[in-house]
Structure 1
């Protein structure tokens, strides 16, 4: 099969779930072209980007937001490429047939990206808003290609709050299939008016072989390492992790809380750490590459994901780093938020607590501190659950089945 994979910024270190799908398709003999609307950071890339030479497969659709600049650049693209496929380019400007999609020049910019390409069997858009680029592709370059759109988090939460519940109606009407990465978001899609028969839940997988299981025990020196990983943004709820640790700091002087990630809340979170007088126990480690993160997880004992629904409506699916921690045998604590309850079996692989509830989070952490004998069984249960439901090889096989 020939697949057009439409993504946002590329490459992005944190979006391993997309890289896993692309690599899985290539490994299975399928041809994949990547279309991105913005160049990502190429100074630090995931190993898969180099292994599969993905930048050589990537084409950038950079349409200026300024209308005047867009028009001038579009005119230049039209003249520079008119000899290659004049019929395709003229078709992209047909406002009588395609209306505002042509008038906005969206179709022209898409057409230039498609010049010289064969028609695609599948156009797979990796977030909801990118589905509209996929619609443009199919209109002018791949009329027989099947249009698939994946919904993964902000696109089915924050984006809806910002643009309204009707924003995806044109996409729902024309798309062939919609993939949600958890049951929670499937229910949201149905509520928004998407035909349930067009929706399949395809979870985001991880490579379990890269995350070696270790049975967790209380170390001889009594030091307990707690870790959280994620962008320093509101929906990750890191403030509540810090507050929970502060409540326990005096009773448990040997705890250490490491927060891996970077983002706009870094300064305010450091200020909170200082105000609560826990700078000796809570550390903001900044962004880490995957191997560095694995080493941090390997030296930790408990993972917490205190995610919350942000004021802008943004929510999380089952978090990939949470799966990685479970695969490595860490007991986990998450919140009753988004798709997280589909990953953590409360009382079996860890605990679920209400959002924004530092008291209950501290209570569950305290229980784990007092009962390290439960760590090994929780860790084994978490590993087994991730292997059964989130192994990326099984999920990539399922993706190919869905394409067929």
Structure 2
């Protein structure tokens, strides 16, 4: 079996289910490296960081490492690139999968030095954000030349990567996918509940979702909106709800486990998300939460934004509006509430579309093939 390294900046977060999916579903001997631009950890096995002497309590806080790790690792001067390179050699890694272009931008010289093939998976911010593009401008050009392949979750990313000199023949379209468990859900469509699963960040524009829902309440006062997630805009959105005096209609659940939001999905009539291009340039790829909602049999009300129209078919599996058009989104929410048979038909059409075109099995098969081809090309 192939020795595959998966790299990401952080240990898998609730919003990074795609990384967890890759760790669990890819075939091979998987080593998961994470923690910083140059990884500091390998799975739950050990830290790569070595120190000359035992650090102070303040140093521990700065380094974000628990004390028991410091007490066990050998003491020597810390060189993150050297320790990461040594770990790749120790694990006999045959191919590196870098989750996010920003990760690849930092580690590609090490892969190049060790002659290890590099596969890059781009997801959204790492392509669209203008400050990321500017900061990594030269690194992106170099790493895209070295990389065996680059995978993107939406077709809107391809022109941007080509501007950095990426060979279009080495760009692979491989949208994210939903977990198989969501196909088992059976929404009742009995309650007037909407659900939104989001990070409270600029490109998700959760305040637009709230404003659209506030318009709905003027005609349909029995409706409710469940919002799941956290982020820096959450308090702003809570204040907006308080200002609009709809606290009993908009429920903020925070970050919850999968079982909780699956239960909320089954008791919802539709999924809603008003994604926009942020002023920073940040944009969606193909939002996993939208795929999960469609897999669960819910219609989706969202926007003509980045990869979303590749998933949601307007007037067939849901409704799409232009970015910032709150009134149009409210109109579609009301239409769903007034015609639950339409909601059911759209939801089922969305489930079928995801199963046929965006299954997790297909997603993993494409990624597995790309990784194996990278190893084969290096050995040929």
Q: TM-score range by the shorter chain?
A: 0.7 to 0.9
Q: How far is 1:24 from its partner?
A: 1.1
Partner of 1:208: 180
- Corresponding residue SS for 1:9: coil
Partner of 2:231: 263
Computed over aligned residues only, the root mean square deviation of the Cα atoms, in angstroms, reads 2.7
Partner of 1:297: 265
Partner of 2:31: 33
Partner of 2:333: 365
Q: How far is 1:279 from its partner?
A: 1.3
- 1:252 aligns with one of 201, 217, 220: 220
Q: 1:59 to 1:348 in 2, by over 3 A?
A: farther
Deviations 1:100-129 (CA, angstroms, capped at 9, x unpaired): xxxxx55324234336332x2211101001
Deviations 1:189-223 (CA, angstroms, capped at 9, x unpaired): 12332111111111212222344242553x2xxx4
Q: How far is 1:295 from its partner?
A: 0.9
Q: How far is 1:385 from its partner?
A: 1.1
Q: 1:56 to 1:365 in 2, by over 3 A?
A: same
Partner of 1:110: 84
The answer to whether the Cα contact below 8 Å between 1:186 and 1:199 also exists between their aligned partners in 2 is yes
- 1:192 aligns with one of 139, 164, 188: 164
Structure 1 portions without partners, runs of 5+? 40-53, 71-78, 83-88, 90-104
Q: Say whether 1:394 aligns with 2:362.
A: yes
TM-score (norm 2): 0.84
- Corresponding residue SS for 1:250: helix
Partner of 1:328: 296
Partner of 1:338: 306
The answer to whether the Cα contact below 8 Å between 2:6 and 2:97 also exists between their aligned partners in 1 is yes
The answer to whether the Cα contact below 8 Å between 1:246 and 1:276 also exists between their aligned partners in 2 is yes
Q: Say whether 1:274 aligns with 2:242.
A: yes
Q: How far is 1:324 from its partner?
A: 0.8
TM-score (norm 1): 0.79
- Aligned residue pairs, count: 348
Q: 1:61 to 1:32 in 2, by over 3 A?
A: farther
Q: 1:209 to 1:270 in 2, by over 3 A?
A: closer
- Corresponding residue SS for 1:333: strand
- Runs of 4+ with deviation above 3 angstroms: 54-63, 79-82, 112-115, 159-162, 164-167
Q: How far is 1:37 from its partner?
A: 2.2
Q: How far is 1:2 from its partner?
A: 0.8
Q: Say whether 1:134 aligns with 2:114.
A: no
Q: 1:58 to 1:8 in 2, by over 3 A?
A: farther
- Corresponding residue SS for 2:196: strand
- Output the CA distance in 1 between the equivalents of 2:124 and 2:44: 28
- Output the CA distance in 2 between the equivalents of 1:263 and 1:170: 33
